[in-house]
Structure 1
Amino acid sequence: MTPGLDELAGFLTRLTRLLLNTSGEGAEGIEEAVTTTARALGGEASLLLVPDTATLTVTAADGAARTVIVRGVPEVFRLDQVTALKPLLADVRAGRTDVTRAGARLAAIEESGPPYPWWAKLIGIVLFALGFAPLMQSTSYEVASTAVLATIAASLAVVADRVPRLAAVLPLVAATVISIVTIEVFARTPSHGGPVLLMLPALFYFVPGDYLSAATAEPAAGWMTTGAIRLVNSVFLLVQLYLGVLLGVYATGTSTRALFDVAADADLPRWALFLSWIVFTVGTVLAFAVPYRLFWPLLALVYLTVAVQSLVTKLIGETGGTFVAAVVLTATATVLARAPRRPPRLVLLLPGFFTLTVGSLGMRGLTTWAGGYVIKGFEDLLKLVTVVTAIAVHGGRRDARAPRVTPLAPSPSYLLLTCSER
C-alpha cells in the first residue's frame, strides 16, 4: 500500500536527520539515499543541503506535499548506525519492506546506544593514538609518552559525551592540556624529538581530516555551497587545535621556537611498526563504534594503504606515494561498498584514510610555521593540499547512475517543520 503524506514525510525526515548526523564524509550521498528511498515508497523527494541543515520537500502519490527543515550535527563517531542503515535502505529499495516496518527499524537504529561501553571508547582512543604514534616517531619514548597523553585526551573525550558545553570547545581544551603536559613533562630535551610530534598522536582523534577531504570533494562534485561551509568548519576545528597548542606554549612560558618538527632517531624494530597497525585498527573499531565483525576487512584496507604508500614513496617520493595511496584506497573502498550487504563506503574508507595523516599534516604545518620554521611548515601544508586533492579527484566524481533531482513545488497547504538535533 502506498503510504500517506504524514507517514512518508515522517520516515524521510528521520532518515535525513540520521544521514546528516553521520555525514562527516560528505553530503552528496544524502540526496541519493533520500530521493531513491522516497521513490521506492511511491513518493518523491527533493533536498536543499548544507552540512548541518537540509530543506526536505516530500510529495506523496496523491500530489500532497510537505516541506521540512531538518537540522543535524555532522560527525563520524557512530559508525554502527551508518552500518545498520545501509541494509535497511537496500530492503526499502528492493521492495522487501514497507514504510511502517522500515520506520520501526529506523527508530531502533536511532535509539540504539553505542555498541561498546564508555570505558571501551576510552581504551579505543588510546589504542588509536598508540597505533599512530610510530608513524610520527619510531621510538619507544614516543609510544610511552603517547600512552599517557592519549589517556588524558581520551578521558576528556568521554567526559565531553556527557557535558555538551565541553564538547563545543573540546579540540581547544584537549590541545591546550596536551600541549602543557607535553612541554612540561615529555619535551624536556630535543633528543626525544619535536614537541609537535609528541603531541600529535594524542590529538589525532580530534583532527578533522575527514572534514577537510569532504570539503574538497564536494565542490568537485558540484556542491559548491556545502563544500565551502564544510571547509570553514574544518578549518575552524583545525585552528582550535592550533590555538590550543599555542596556549600551552604561552602558559608554560616557552618560546614558540620550541615547536620544531624534527624526529628522533628510530629505535623500534620493524615488526613493531607492522603490529602497530593492528593496534590502530582495534582502536578505530572501539573509538568510532564500528561493528567488531568488520575488523578484518578494515585491517586489510589499512595494510593495503600502507603498502601502496610505502612502495610508491620509494619510487617517486613521499608526496607522490601519499597521493597514489589515497587514490587506491578511495577506489577500493568505493568498489567494495557497491554491494547492498557490504559495509558502507565511509566505514571502509575511514581507517585507511587516517593512515594518510591528512589532518595531522595541516596541524603540523600550522604549528611548525608558528615556531618560525617556515619552509618545513610549508612542506606539510603542501602535502595536505596534495592528499585532499587526490581524494577529491577520485572520490568526488558523481556516479553516473545517481539521480539528478529537480526541486518539487510544494502545495499551498504545505507544513513547515523544524527538527533540531542538539
Structure 2
Amino acid sequence: MEPTGTPDDDSAAYRPDGQAVDFLARLTRLLLSCSGEGTHLIEQTVGRAGDAFGHPTTLLMVPEGAVLSVRPPAPAPTTVTVTVRAVPEVFRLDRVVALKDLVRAIDDGRCPLPRARAELARIEELPAPYGPWWKLAGITLFALGFAPLMQPTWWEIGATAVLGLWSAALAVAADRLPRLALLLPLLAAFTVAVLTLEIFARTPVHGGPVLIMLPALFFFVPGDYLSAAAAELSAGLMTTGAIRLVYAVFLLVQLYVGVLLGVAVTGSSTRRLFDVAAAADLPRWALFCGWIIFTVGTVLAFAIPYRLAPLLLLLVYVTVGVQSLVTKAAGEVAGTFAAAVVLAALANLLSRRPSMPPRPVLLLPGFFTLTVGSLGMRGLTTLAGGHVIAGFTDLLKLVSIVTAIALGLVAGAVLSTPRRQLARH
C-alpha cells in the first residue's frame, strides 16, 4: 500500500494517515461483502466516513471489488490507493444494521478514529445472531411462506415442508463445507427435482412439478440479484449492473440445469415440466398467515435482528396490498411498479431515522414478495418441457417485471430524497 507522488512529497504531512486508510479499506470490504442488493450506497457511506476523518475518498466499484483512493487532509498530490475484494452476499444483515450505527456516530463526531477502528473490528467478528438450527428453520419457513403464491393448496404446503427442509439442510451444510457451497444451486435444484418427480408430482392432480419445486428453491433463485442489476443499470452504474446481471443469469441457469439433470436421472420426460396449478383448497386465513411465516423465515435466514420483524411484516403487507390493488386496476406490471415505488419510498424515509435499520434491510422482505426470479425459473423449465408459448410468456414477464421493479425502486428513492441531497449526487 504505497502512496503515489513525487520523492519531494514523502514527508508524513503529505501522506494519508495509515490508520484512516486501514479503517476505510476494511469498511469498504465489509460493505462490499453485504452488497448483494447493490453497491450504489457504498461510495456514499465510505465517502462520509472519509470526510469525517479529514481524508476525502473516491471509489471505483465492481460487484466483487473496489479501488479505494484516499487523500490526506491538506491539499497534496500524494494519494494512497487500495484494492479491496469481497464476495457480495445478503446473508448477514445484522452487520448492515450495526454498520449504520457506526457510520452515524462517525458523522455526528461522536466516534474518533481509534474507537471507530475498534468498533469496526467488533462488527467484523460478530457471531451470527442465530445458530445453524435457527437458520435451518428460517429457510424452511421462508419456503413455506412463499408456497401459497405458487399453488394455494395443502399438498403444496406439505411438499414444501419436506423439500424446503432439505434445501435448508443443504444451505446450512454449505456454510461449513466450501466445496459444497460452490455447487449449491445446482445440487439443490437436482435433488429437489428428483424428490419432486419421484414423490410429490406423480399425478397432475397436485399441479405441475415446476410449481411444487419452486418454493423450496426460492432461497437460491437470484431474483434480488436480477432486480439489483436492473436498478444499477437504470441508475447509470453500468459496470456493476452488467456484471451482476451476468452473475444472476448464471445462477438461474445452474438451477435450470439442475432440474434437467433431475429429470434425466428419474427417467422422466421433459414434457412433465408444466406449471399448471391445481385447484385451490387453502382458506383465506392461511394465505394471510403465509406472509407472517415468510417474514419470520426471512428474519432467521438472513440474520436480521428479531426486534425488526414487526416493522418488516408491516412493509410486506403494504407491498402486497399496493401490488394487489393496482394489479386489479391496471395489470401486473403496473402493480409491481407501484409496489416497488411505495416500498422504496417508505424504506428511504424510515431509514433516515436514527432508530431505524438501514434501507437494504427494510427493502429485503417486501422486495422478495414481488417474486422476480421464480418467473425466470418457471420460464426456462417450462420451455425445456416443450411448452413453448407458456415458457416464453414467463420469460417475457420476467423482463417486464424486473424492469418495473428496478425503475420503481429508483423512482421511490428519488421521490423520497430531498432535492439538496439529489444535487450532491
Q: TM-score range by the shorter chain?
A: over 0.9
CA distance in 2, matches of 1:119, 1:372: 40
SS of residue in 2 equivalent to 1:361: helix
Displacement of 1:4 after TM fit?
5.5
Within 5 A, what are the aligned runs for 1:67-216? 67-216=81-230
Spell out, residue by residue over 1:64-113, the C-alpha distance to the aligned partner (whole angstroms, 9 max, x if none).
42111100000000010011111110111111111111111111111111
CA distance in 2, matches of 1:216, 1:337: 22
Aligned residues: 404
Displacement of 1:337 after TM fit?
1.5
Spell out, residue by residue over 1:338-357, the C-alpha distance to the aligned partner (whole angstroms, 9 max, x if none).
22431111111110111110
- What code does the residue aligned with 2:368 have? F
Which stretch of the first structure deviates more once superposed, 388-397 or 33-42? 388-397
Task: Identify the match of residue 17 of structure 1 among 8, 17, 29.
Answer: 29
Task: Find the counterpart in structure 2 of residue 50 from structure 1.
Answer: 62
Task: Find the counterpart in structure 2 of residue 38 from structure 1.
Answer: 50
Which stretch of the first structure deviates more once superposed, 205-214 or 63-72? 63-72
Task: Identify the match of residue 243 of structure 1 among 250, 254, 257.
Answer: 257
Task: Find the counterpart in structure 2 of residue 29 from structure 1.
Answer: 41
Within 5 A, what are the aligned runs for 1:312-351? 312-351=326-365
Q: Does 1:256 align with 2:270?
A: yes
Displacement of 1:370 after TM fit?
1.2
Displacement of 1:326 after TM fit?
2.2
Unaligned 5+ segments in structure 2 are 1-12
Matched-pair identity in %: 64
Displacement of 1:329 after TM fit?
1.6
Task: Identify the match of residue 300 of structure 1 among 314, 333, 337.
Answer: 314
CA distance in 2, matches of 1:282, 1:14: 31
Asked whether the equivalents of residues 16 and 70 of structure 1 are also in contact (C-alpha less than 8 Å), the reply is yes
Q: Does 1:355 align with 2:369?
A: yes
Spell out, residue by residue over 1:357-398, the C-alpha distance to the aligned partner (whole angstroms, 9 max, x if none).
011111111111111112222222222222221232233367
CA distance in 1, matches of 2:287, 2:61: 42
Displacement of 1:402 after TM fit?
5.9
Spell out, residue by residue over 1:239-267, the C-alpha distance to the aligned partner (whole angstroms, 9 max, x if none).
11111111101111111110001000000
Displacement of 1:166 after TM fit?
0.9
**TM-score under structure 1 normalisation?**
0.92
CA distance in 2, matches of 1:92, 1:356: 35
Q: Does 1:7 align with 2:1?
A: no
SS of residue in 2 equivalent to 1:396: helix
CA distance in 2, matches of 1:394, 1:265: 33
Which stretch of the first structure deviates more once superposed, 305-314 or 265-274? 305-314
- What code does the residue aligned with 2:399 have? V
CA distance in 2, matches of 1:14, 1:370: 45
Q: RCO (CA 8 Å, sep 6+): is it higher in 1 or 2?
A: 1
RMSD: 1.7
Unaligned 5+ segments in structure 1 are 406-422
CA distance in 2, matches of 1:300, 1:224: 33
SS of residue in 2 equivalent to 1:388: helix
- What code does the residue aligned with 2:48 have? T
